[in-house]
Amino acid sequence: MDRIVLDSPLDMHVHFRTGNMLKFVVPYTACNFAGAMVMPNTDPIIDNHYALCRYREEIKAACKDAFFEPYMTLYFQTSYTRQMLEECRQDVLAIKLYPRGITTNSGHGVLISDPEVETVLGYMTELGIPLSVHGETDGYVMRREREFMRTYERWAVKYPKLKIIMEHISTAEAVNVLGTYPNVFATVTPHHLLMTTDDLCGDMLRPHLFCKPLLKSPEDRAALQALVLGELSDELQRKVMLGTDSAPHAKNKKECDCGCAGVFNAPYALPSIVPLFVEKDKLPELQRFVSDNAKAIYGIDTLPKMVELHRESQRANAFLGHLVGPKDDSYVCVVPMYADQILRWRVRKTWVDPVRTKVVLPKSPLAK
């Protein structure tokens, strides 16, 4: 098989940042996906309706004329009232919860033990707003996700009508929890699906693969692969969505004495995961993973944006942006996942199904 057409791929977990970085990175997602769920851990955080709408406008402006829908999220705050959530319900796809201090811009996150957390979970259950979670404790880095499973389990049992999305799962334990509770769902990133701790620090140290949760063991990766490929069960496969967790940081903030966490994979997310599915002849599972499952879980619809990939080698860019530039905030240079390596597939074209619309998509910034 040398050609695949994906129907309306969705990235259910992406970081766009703000300002110049946002303008720079949004097109890489917009040209490859029909839509994306945008994380609210910007600086300042997205914690009210007005900020959310303004942030959506900023993203749409950066798309230019691309056919792309940003799905917005609020940053979980214990101060949210039922009325406030009700008023912005129509514009919010999910509320993202960060335990305090465990990742980029999580200083405004919650203490999991705070009883006020459950008050807001109650409102969300009543209003049908899904809960999206960065599920890690502040324990030993290799055990943080495993230790958070207790919290997922407690919430899953206490709020059976609340949809809980375990974001960017990285461990076999999370796959087990996914299989146990009907109201628990998950996203998986390309890097957790394809890489292990060895890629980060087995040979040389690769700061551009440093992320949270940390890349895990070969056994954990095998559990994630079995999950997305439907080898565990068809039912379980329908609970998992692609969420790239594409998280750009300027090159100089990754390659320094105190490197930031985050993998910028938006440019090559789809080409990177295709071989895993193609080699095992699992195209229906690929389509479900990159789109159908998210539509069913979140109850969203998209316009029929088709993304066509060809089996055709490409060398991923070593960096994107300007390697040397003014040291103000207009300087953008990011190193993508698989920088300077050969990928076997590439996005060849995207279009909107002509039967249903005549919108013409702009060319991908990566297309030759």
- Residues at the contact surface with a copy of itself, assessed by CB under 8 A: 140-142, 196-198, 200-202, 204-208, 210, 214, 217-218, 254-261, 335, 339
Least distance CB 100 / a copy of itself (angstroms): 13
Least distance CB 71 / a copy of itself (angstroms): 30
Closer CB to a copy of itself, 188 or 200, in the complex:
200
Closer CB to a copy of itself, 119 or 225, in the complex:
225
Contacts for 299 with CB less than 8 Å, ≥ 6 apart: none
Q: Is the peptide bond before 213 cis (omega within 30 degrees of 0)?
A: yes
Closer CB to a copy of itself, 157 or 256, in the complex:
256
Question: For this structure, is 203 an active site residue?
Answer: no
Decide if 220 contacts 191 (C-beta within 8 A): no
Number of Cβ within 10 Å of residue 64's Cβ equals 12
Decide if 39 contacts 256 (C-beta within 8 A): no
- Which pair of tokens denotes residue 46? 């997205």
Which listed residue (245, 301, 328, 353) is catalytic? Answer: 245
H/E stretch holding 11 reads strand 10-14
Q: First CA to last CA across the chain, in angstroms?
A: 22
How far is CA 111 from each of CA 56, 97, 160, 305, rounded to the nearest angstrom? Answer: 28, 10, 22, 40
Closer CB to a copy of itself, 11 or 220, in the complex:
220
Least distance CB 155 / a copy of itself (angstroms): 25
Least distance CB 307 / a copy of itself (angstroms): 29
- Selection from 305, 335, 299, 308 nearest residue 320 by Cα: 335
Decide if 34 contacts 305 (C-beta within 8 A): yes
Least distance CB 360 / a copy of itself (angstroms): 38
**The amino acid at 75:** Y
Closer CB to a copy of itself, 218 or 284, in the complex:
218
Least distance CB 171 / a copy of itself (angstroms): 13
Contacts for 116 with CB less than 8 Å, ≥ 6 apart: 78, 110
Number of Cβ within 10 Å of residue 114's Cβ equals 12
Closer CB to a copy of itself, 104 or 246, in the complex:
104
Closer CB to a copy of itself, 50 or 140, in the complex:
140
**The amino acid at 184:** V
Phi, psi of 172 (to 5 degrees): -65, -30
H/E stretch holding 289 reads none
H/E stretch holding 349 reads strand 342-352
Least distance CB 365 / a copy of itself (angstroms): 22
Decide if 191 contacts 209 (C-beta within 8 A): yes
Q: Which residues are catalytic?
A: 245
